[in-house]
């Protein structure tokens, strides 16, 4: 086992620890709120015997640590409790709503990667020229626009003034969701070869994904730009050229790749920002994802649903960060070869 | 005595002193980028306008308990530059008053989160490897393992919706970033010569943490704070957008945008102007923050 | 070194890729919309889509709000049916008779009714449905809990109800008793808190139906929509232009509604659109507004057990200072001033009552009599309005501004509907003032008086007052226990005066329930009747009995 493997095992171990800690924090937050969850679930007129039975079923008569134990046991077996809003098991809700959010965040991530490299490299290439200044101004504005503001402005513009792109929901009326394999409409529709649904789903994704992507995109672009301009002055680049390597190899392997390291390292944070902002953007675009569900749950103090959503996001976030570390390790030979961890 | 001499040799004087010493140099570094100056101007004007709101706003009453349904839903005009909302209140006046909450949010959150975060970071960093270190840093990890806005939303949602609780929610999610920042610096600083010397001569732990290590962390802390104000305001606006901030009739920028979306596109001014106000205040703080970062950075780092 | 970058072709490639992706998406966007011109797809379907505050709960034992009531009326059958003229006619029951004391009711059922799965509907199913509703204790069960003593099947097609005490409006409340398929529900029960009955099929009935109504559930997507399709074998038969499907969309977001109406992808809007939004919708070609007085009043409910609203003079002061004219004329044009707790359009309304008016002098007089008069700064009144109903905020802020004139401090708080329901469950957490629209559940004043002011209904969202007045309780019990209709209505009238005297509520206005609809291609019987000045049913949900609608897709 080399150093890298050990590093990732350690990382994984910490992540599990962090998730357990997170679950305790969430559980405590959810349980200190006043009110009887069983009574809330059944309504004010439900007969007392049914409420008592439900209390027993939910282990509410036990002390807090025991309740936590049962809750974790439930989480491990996929039983996250009943939602107050949808009146069914939260696991069902998550299964139904999570894919829509993943699809959204995934497309945003694609936008972020593509455009940040494009803008970053463009700015570096034309350093201190008008393109560089233009991109810098765009970056300032883009970063200062919260995604919910962008979303609202998109809605105003593309919803009413220039309605060329659909602004609400996942599919146009009259089209029905493709059979569920992944829950991602774009992928599912391609799997069954339904191009009409594919294009429609993609169009519906465009604006919300863009609203999420703009902030992180420009931040990344600035990082790409500055690390590229830094690396351009490095000696190894000159040596590579001196050895007669083709331009493409020089640029790809010796300039772009190392320049990506700092950008990729903050990618984890960007994904976090996007997942958080998805909460507002989904509400604005009427996007039936887990964030909108979570938002609804928060406004209704639907504690089981809040806990579940936070745990799911924590899990995704931890996984994304491990993935980001892997990519950085791949890009950075010092880490990959076990030197600088 | 030995320790004192070492100390003056190695560390740079405190940032305050440095500011005074090299004011002109700092100003040069800061003003080299015109955007920083623009940021400073924007931020200063917003602060002045917010403080003088009752005198500057054309209709100060409209930021409070006021309805005038006869003059509701009017577009921008000479009487109401940004129009009136569906309650007949002047949008411009409400934006001006909303700046107060936004600024208060930015200041209060950092004023609490930074000392708390820094304190824990120093403690964990200095006692690196101890139980205290593990305990603090793992808790930090837990808080950093959830998207920040999500955690703030969850906390604010469980509490009663108002500005104070929104600030509490944002503070709770903000301190760990400073803990992590200071932790990294403290772990390396504690092995520096001046710290070990101070330990040798028997300086108290309090002295070492706050007189030896802390002053050397201040520059990055201030830089991060300058860059963070805009983010805090952004998160605050996001909370108020979903109704978890200042409650009506007291205006808040996010709340105004969210109210306005109900009347799009016909009453567009109810949405567009508060949106722009949010962008401008964040833009101002971001540009100012970048300027301060350039000023604080020792080398001639390229501004990215 | 910068020249290396200039020669870097990969960069150009990425740029082209990114730009073309956006262009393709945008281009297809434009093209796609044109494809979707009228009649392209979905345009040919005879469908009614209506928006509501939430996707309905379609479990007849659980659902009771507006959205639920619309869904239940279309998916399930009931023993009797509320006619447009206010009478109650036969549906599953061919005929019925009541004993002279009004305690025993016997219903003869039709023998040709099939459930959606083909099973035959019998008296057993009726008995099961009643028992299930009472056991769950949710939804509309409160209409029956204290009334019903026993229900039994006398024969395959005969069912008998025995009442605990005489209950005048019993027949009209039966429109809230949906009949479920017993066998089908029992096949789908899971573990749950109801003993032998497990969860009473609650889990399964969230997304499935066990009904015999004109429409069957095809799909229920939480947070999105309920889609029901025509039940071909419906015993009542079908008109050829009747809708083949209906959808209830769970959103009132004005931008969504506006877009859908513009694209003719929504036929009827919800009633929570603001005045401004309705005005804009009215400008769309082919769209009209239907305004119907359905007996709904916006109540500002005072918690009469919490200081300072526990003081009758304090409450009266607020009632007098409130600007009723602004609400009825400026905020909700088309509505009218309320004349007490009961809407003019509800049978049993007291014709002697006059519209409420603002009177600053009297308000000051009353406040002076209040025990809180000289310590107003120590108290503030918390007024809650519902997130889902933005128009309520206008009324709340008006109350706030009006109260300010008396020196009374009102804090306006926005709260989601379900949280409000949770808060009014206990007296301590019930706000000083709650702004709640209340509609009648059956077509009589008693259907408002009992849930609004009887002690039995404290702790429900319909009574934020915690009035607990023994005289009122007795009077209401007496009235609804009266079998003779005329006598009963007279008793209702007297109660209204008693209640007004206590000033537990500001009845801010008598609402015209306004919805925009696609008048050019749908025929909506209730809207037509209202337009012609004829009575239309005011029973919640039944204006949207889609079987009697007609859709003409070619007129889109």
Tens digits of per-residue pLDDT, B77-92?
A: 999 999 999 899 999 9
Tell me whether residues B262 and C390 touch, CB distance under 8 A. Answer: yes
Chain A residue with CA closest to B140: the answer is A18
Tokens for B68, please give them: 């005038």
pLDDT given for residue A268 in this prediction: 78
CATH class of C80-185: alpha beta
pLDDT at res. C34: 38
**Model pLDDT, residue B1:** 40
**Total domain count for chain A?**
1
User: Interface of chain C against chain B, CB under 8 Å?
Assistant: 254-255, 274, 276-277, 280, 326, 330-331, 387, 390, 393-394, 397-398, 400-401, 404, 410-414
Domain with CATH 3.90.76.10 in chain C: 80-185
Residue of A nearest to C41 (CA): A174
Domain that holds residue A250: 90-336
Contacts of C78 (CB under 8 A, 6+ apart): C91, C92, C174, C175, C176, C177, C178, C179
Query: Looking at the domain assignment, is residue A197 inside a domain?
Result: yes
Domain with CATH 3.10.105.10 in chain C: 293-511
The torsion angles phi and psi of C229, rounded to 5 degrees, stand at -120, 155
CATH domain C293-511 topology: Dipeptide-binding Protein; domain 3 (3.10.105)
Beta bridge partners of C248: C50, C226
Cβ contact A114–C14 (<8 Å): yes
- Domain presence at residue A67: no
**Interface list for A 281-300 with B (CB within 8 A):** 283-284, 294-295, 298-299
Angle between helices A303-331 and A64-76 (to 10 degrees): 60
Residue A68 domain-assigned (yes or no):
no
Whether C328 and C509 have beta carbons less than 8 Å apart is answered as yes
Who among A33, A146, A283 is closest to B234 (CB)?
A146
| HEC per residue, C188-243 | CCCCCCCHHHCCCCHHHHCCCCCCCCCEEEEEEECCCEEEEEECCCCCCCCCCCCC
Q: What is the CATH number of the domain that holds A247?
A: 1.10.3720.10
Query: Which of C1, C251, C276, C283 to probe by mutation at the B interface, max B CB count within 10 Å?
Result: C276
What is the predicted pLDDT for the residue at C23? 56
The pLDDT, as a whole number, for residue A18 is 82
Contact criterion met (CB < 8 Å) for B242 and A161: no
Structural domains in chain B plus CATH codes: 32-55+95-303 (1.10.3720.10)
Instruction: Note whether A12 contacts B: Cβ–Cβ < 8 A.
Output: no
Interchain contact, A167 vs C259, CB within 8 Å: yes
pLDDT at A202 (0 to 100):
93
Q: Is A158 on the interface with B (CB under 8 A)?
A: no
**pLDDT one-digit tens code per residue, B199-219:** 888 888 888 888 888 988 888
* Fold for the domain defined by C13-74+205-292+514-555: D-Maltodextrin-Binding Protein; domain 2 (3.40.190)
Question: Rounded to a whole number, what is the distance in Å from the CA of B219 to chain C's nearest CA?
Answer: 33
**Rg over CA atoms, chain C:** 26
* Tokens at C380, concatenated: 């503030």
Higher per-residue pLDDT: A33 or B163:
B163
- C211 contacts C116 by C-beta, under 8 angstroms: yes
Provide the residue-wise pLDDT of chain C in tens; the chain has 556 residues: 444 444 455 555 555 566 665 555 554 444 444 333 333 344 578 999 999 988 999 999 988 888 999 999 999 999 999 998 888 899 999 999 999 888 999 999 999 999 999 999 999 999 999 999 998 888 888 889 889 999 999 999 999 999 998 888 899 899 999 999 999 999 999 987 788 888 899 989 999 999 999 999 999 988 889 999 999 999 999 999 999 999 999 888 888 898 889 889 899 999 988 888 899 999 999 999 998 888 899 999 999 999 899 999 999 999 999 999 999 988 888 899 999 999 988 889 999 999 989 999 999 999 999 999 988 989 999 999 988 788 899 999 999 999 999 999 999 988 877 778 878 888 999 999 999 998 887 888 998 999 899 998 888 888 999 999 999 999 999 999 888 888 999 999 999 999 999 999 999 999 988 999 999 999 999 999 999 988 888 788 999 999 999 999 988 8
Find, in chain A, the residue whose alpha carbon is nearest to that of C194. Answer: A50
CA distance A329 to C379: 63
Nearest-neighbour CA in chain C from B281: distance (Å): 27
Q: Tell me if chain A has a CB within 8 Å of the CB of C37.
A: no
**How many interface pairs between A and B have CB atoms less than 8 angstroms apart?**
139
Helices assigned H by DSSP within chain A: 3-32, 37-42, 48-57, 64-76, 90-125, 130-144, 147-156, 185-191, 195-232, 235-242, 247-249, 257-265, 267-284, 290-299, 303-331, 333-336
Q: What is the mean pLDDT of residues B146-163?
A: 81
Which chain C residues contact residue A296 at CB under 8 A?
223
Cα(B79)–Cα(A142) distance, integer angstroms: 32
Residues 6+ apart with CB under 8 A from B102: B233, B236, B237, B252, B253, B281
Length of chain A: 341
Distance of alpha carbon B58 from alpha carbon B93, whole angstroms: 6
Instruction: Respond yes or no on whether the N-terminal peptide bond of residue B249 is cis (omega within 30° of 0).
Output: yes
For residues A225 and B304, is the Cβ–Cβ distance under 8 A?
A: yes
Least confident of A43-52, A66-75, A181-190, B268-277: A43-52
Contact C32 A115 (CB under 8 A): no
Per-residue pLDDT at B18 = 60
| Inter-chain touch C254–B267, beta carbons under 8 Å | no
In the prediction, which pLDDT does C35 show? 38
C280, C326, C401 member nearest B266 (Cβ): C280
- Measured distance CA(C218)–CA(C58) in Å, rounded: 12
Comma-separated ranges of CATH 3.40.190.10 domains in chain C: 13-74+205-292+514-555
Beta-bridge partner residues of C252: none
Q: How many CB atoms lie within 10 A of CB C399?
A: 28
How far apart are alpha carbons B266 and B285 in whole angstroms?
32
The neighbours of chain A, by the rule of 3 or more Cβ pairs under 8 Å, are: B, C
Predicted pLDDT at B3: 43
Q: Is residue A32 part of a domain?
A: no
Q: How far is A315 from chain B (nearest CA, A)?
A: 8
**Candidate from A30, A148, A275 with C-beta closest to B241:** A148
Structure tokens at B30: 């800061």
What are the chain B neighbours of A140 within 8 Å (beta carbons)? 35, 283, 286-287
Cα–Cα distance list, A218 to A212, A282, C285, C314 (Å): 12, 21, 43, 58
**Three-state DSSP class for residue C336:** strand
How does strand C522-523 pair with strand C550-551?
A: antiparallel
Mapping DSSP to helix (H, G, I), strand (E, B) and coil, where does residue C437 land? strand
At C433 the three-state DSSP class reads strand
| pLDDT, greater one: B160 or B62 | B62
Tokens standing for residue A95: 């299964």
Question: How sure is the predictor about A1, in pLDDT bands with cuts at 50, 70 and 90?
Answer: low
pLDDT for B11 beyond 60: no
* Closest CB from A56, A86, A174 relative to C42: A174
Cβ separation B147–A146 shorter than 8 A: no
Q: Do B261 and C277 touch (CB under 8 A)?
A: no
Residue A200 pLDDT > 80? yes
Count of other CB atoms within 10 angstroms of residue A174: 15
| Distance from C-alpha of B39 to C-alpha of B31, rounded to nearest angstrom | 11
Rounded mean pLDDT, B87-108: 95
Chains A, C: CB pairs < 8 Å: 173
**Three-class HEC string of C132-200:** HHHHHCCHHHHHHHCCEEEEEEEECCEEEEEECCCCCCHHHHHHHCECCCHHHHHHCCCCCCCHHHCCC
ipTM of the assembly?
0.84
How far apart, in whole angstroms, are the C-alpha atoms of residue C163 and residue B126? 78
**What is the pairing mode between strands C225-230 and C215-221?**
antiparallel
Percent of chain A with pLDDT over 70: 93
Chain C, window 58-77: residues with a beta carbon less than 8 angstroms from a chain A beta carbon? 62
If you average pLDDT over residues B132-159, what whole number do you get?
84
H/E stretch holding C106 reads: strand C104-109
A240 belongs to a structural domain:
yes
Mean pLDDT of A113-132: 88
Tens-place pLDDT, residues A162-177? 888 888 888 887 777 8
C138 in A contact zone (CB under 8 Å): yes
Query: DSSP string covering A187-221, please?
Result: HHHHHTT-HHHHHHHHHHHHHHHHHHHHHHHHHHH
pLDDT of residue B7: 46
**Are the C-beta atoms of C67 and A198 separated by less than 8 Å?**
no
């Amino acid at each position: 086992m080399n150093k890298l493997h050990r590093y990732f095992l350690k990382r994984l171990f910490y992540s599990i620890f962090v998730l357990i800690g997170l679950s305790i924090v969430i559980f405590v937050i959810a349980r200190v709120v006043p009110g009887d969850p069983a009574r809330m679930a059944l309504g004010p007129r439900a007969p007392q015997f049914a409420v008592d039975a439900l209390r027993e079923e939910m282990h509410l008569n036990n002390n807090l640590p025991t309740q936590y134990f049962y809750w974790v046991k439930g989480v491990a077996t996929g039983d996250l409790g009943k939602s107050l809003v949808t009146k069914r098991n939260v696991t069902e809700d998550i299964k139904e709503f999570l894919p829509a959010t993943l699809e959204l965040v995934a497309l945003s991530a694609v936008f972020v990667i593509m455009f940040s490299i494009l803008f970053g490299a463009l700015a570096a290439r034309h350093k201190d020229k008008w393109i560089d200044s233009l991109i810098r101004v765009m970056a300032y504005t883009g970063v200062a626009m919260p995604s919910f503001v962008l979303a609202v402005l998109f809605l105003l513009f593309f919803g009413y003034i220039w309605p060329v792109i659909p602004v609400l929901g996942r599919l146009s009326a009259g089209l029905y969701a493709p059979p569920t394999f992944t829950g991602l409409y774009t992928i599912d529709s391609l799997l069954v070869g339904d191009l009409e649904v594919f294009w429609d789903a993609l169009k519906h994704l465009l604006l919300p994904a863009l609203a999420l992507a703009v902030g992180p995109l420009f931040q990344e672009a600035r990082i790409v730009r500055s690390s590229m301009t830094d690396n351009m002055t490095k000696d190894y680049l000159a040596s590579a050229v001196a050895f007669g390597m083709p331009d493409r190899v020089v640029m790809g392997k010796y300039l772009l790749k190392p320049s990506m390291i700092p950008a990729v390292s903050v990618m984890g944070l960007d994904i976090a920002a996007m997942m958080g902002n998805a909460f507002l953007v989904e509400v604005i675009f009427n996007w039936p994802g887990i964030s909108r569900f979570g938002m609804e749950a928060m406004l209704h103090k639907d504690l089981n649903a809040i806990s579940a959503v936070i745990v799911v996001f924590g899990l995704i976030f931890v996984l994304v960060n491990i993935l980001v570390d892997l990519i950085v390790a791949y890009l950075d030979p010092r880490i990959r070869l076990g030197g600088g961890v | 005595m030995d320790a004192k001499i070492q100390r003056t040799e190695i560390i740079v004087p405190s940032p305050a002193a440095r500011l005074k010493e090299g004011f002109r140099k700092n100003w040069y570094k800061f003003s080299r980028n015109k955007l920083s100056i623009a940021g400073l101007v924007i931020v200063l004007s917003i602060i002045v306008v917010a403080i003088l709101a009752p005198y500057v706003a054309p209709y100060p009453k409209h930021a409070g308990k006021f309805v005038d349904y006869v003059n509701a839903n009017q577009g921008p005009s000479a009487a109401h530059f940004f129009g009136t909302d569906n309650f007949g209140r002047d949008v411009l006046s409400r934006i001006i008053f909303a700046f107060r909450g936004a600024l208060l949010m930015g200041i209060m959150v950092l004023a609490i989160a930074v000392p708390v975060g820094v304190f824990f970071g120093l403690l964990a960093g200095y006692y690196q490897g101890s139980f205290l270190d593990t305990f603090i840093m793992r808790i930090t990890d837990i808080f950093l393992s959830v998207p920040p806005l999500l955690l703030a939303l969850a906390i604010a949602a469980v509490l009663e919706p108002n500005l104070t609780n929104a600030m509490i929610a944002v503070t709770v999610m903000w301190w760990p970033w400073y803990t992590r920042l200071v932790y990294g610096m403290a772990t390396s600083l504690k092995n520096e010569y001046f710290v070990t010397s101070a330990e040798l001569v028997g300086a108290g732990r309090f002295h070492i943490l706050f007189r030896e290590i802390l002053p050397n962390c201040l520059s990055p802390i201030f830089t991060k704070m300058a860059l963070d104000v805009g983010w805090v305001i952004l998160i605050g606006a996001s909370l108020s957008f979903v109704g978890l901030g200042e409650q009506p009739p007291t205006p808040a920028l996010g709340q105004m945008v969210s109210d306005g979306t109900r009347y799009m596109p016909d009453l567009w001014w109810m949405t567009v102007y508060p949106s722009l106000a949010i962008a401008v205040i964040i833009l101002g703080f971001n540009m100012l923050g970048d300027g301060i970062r350039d000023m604080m950075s020792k080398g001639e780092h390229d501004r990215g | 070194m910068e020249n290396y970058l200039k020669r870097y072709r990969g960069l150009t490639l990425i740029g082209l890729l990114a730009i073309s992706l956006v262009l393709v998406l945008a281009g297809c966007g434009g093209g796609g919309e044109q494809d979707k011109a009228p009649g392209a797809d979905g345009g040919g379907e005879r469908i009614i889509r209506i928006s509501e505050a939430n996707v309905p709960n379609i479990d007849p034992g659980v659902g009771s709000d507006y959205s639920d009531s619309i869904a239940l009326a279309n998916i399930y059958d009931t023993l009797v049916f509320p006619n447009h003229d206010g009478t109650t006619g036969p549906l599953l029951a061919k005929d019925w008779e009541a004993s002279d004391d009004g305690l025993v009711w016997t219903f003869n059922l039709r023998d040709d009714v099939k459930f959606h799965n083909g099973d035959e509907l019998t008296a057993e199913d009726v008995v099961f449905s009643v028992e299930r509703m009472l056991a769950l204790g949710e939804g509309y069960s409160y209409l029956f809990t204290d009334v019903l003593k026993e229900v039994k099947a006398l024969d395959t097609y005969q069912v008998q109800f025995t009442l605990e005490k005489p209950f005048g409006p019993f027949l009209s409340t039966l429109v809230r008793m949906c009949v479920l398929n017993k066998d089908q529900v029992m096949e789908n029960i899971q573990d749950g808190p109801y003993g032998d009955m497990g969860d009473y099929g609650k889990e399964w009935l969230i997304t499935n139906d066990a009904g015999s109504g004109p429409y069957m559930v095809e799909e229920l997507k939480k947070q999105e929509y309920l889609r029901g399709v025509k039940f071909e074998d419906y015993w009542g038969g079908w008109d050829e232009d009747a809708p083949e499907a209906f959808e209830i969309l769970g959103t009132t977001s004005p931008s969504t509604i506006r877009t859908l109406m513009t694209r003719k992808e929504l036929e009827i809007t919800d009633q929570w659109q603001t005045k401004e939004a309705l005005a804009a919708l009215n400008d769309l070609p082919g769209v009209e507004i239907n305004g119907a007085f359905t007996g709904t009043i916006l109540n500002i409910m005072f918690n009469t057990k919490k200081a300072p609203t526990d003081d009758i003079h304090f409450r009266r002061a607020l009632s007098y200072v409130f600007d009723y004219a602004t609400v009825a004329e400026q905020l909700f044009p088309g509505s009218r001033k309320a004349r007490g707790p009961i809407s003019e359009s509800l049978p049993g309304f007291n014709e002697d009552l006059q519209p409420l008016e603002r009177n600053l002098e009297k308000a000051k007089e009353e406040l002076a009599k209040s025990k809180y008069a000289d310590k107003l700064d120590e108290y503030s009144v918390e007024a809650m309005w519902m997130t889902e109903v933005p128009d309520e905020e206008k009324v709340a802020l008006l109350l706030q501004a009006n109260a300010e004139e008396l020196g009374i401090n009102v804090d306006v708080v926005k709260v989601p509907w379900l949280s409000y329901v949770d808060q009014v469950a206990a007296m301590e957490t019930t706000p000083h003032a709650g702004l709640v629209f209340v509609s009648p559940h059956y077509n009589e004043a008693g259907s408002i008086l009992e849930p609004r002011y009887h002690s039995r209904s404290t702790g429900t969202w319909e009574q934020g007052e915690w009035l607990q007045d023994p005289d009122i309780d007795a009077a209401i019990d007496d009235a609804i226990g009266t079998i003779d209709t005329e006598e009963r209505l007279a008793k209702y009238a007297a109660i209204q005066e008693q209640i007004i005297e206590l000033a537990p509520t500001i009845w801010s206005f008598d609402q015209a329930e306004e919805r925009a609809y696609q008048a050019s291609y749908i025929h909506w019987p209730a809207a037509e009747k209202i337009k012609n000045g004829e009575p239309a049913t005011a029973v919640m949900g039944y204006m949207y009995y889609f079987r009697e609608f007609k859709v003409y897709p070619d007129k889109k």
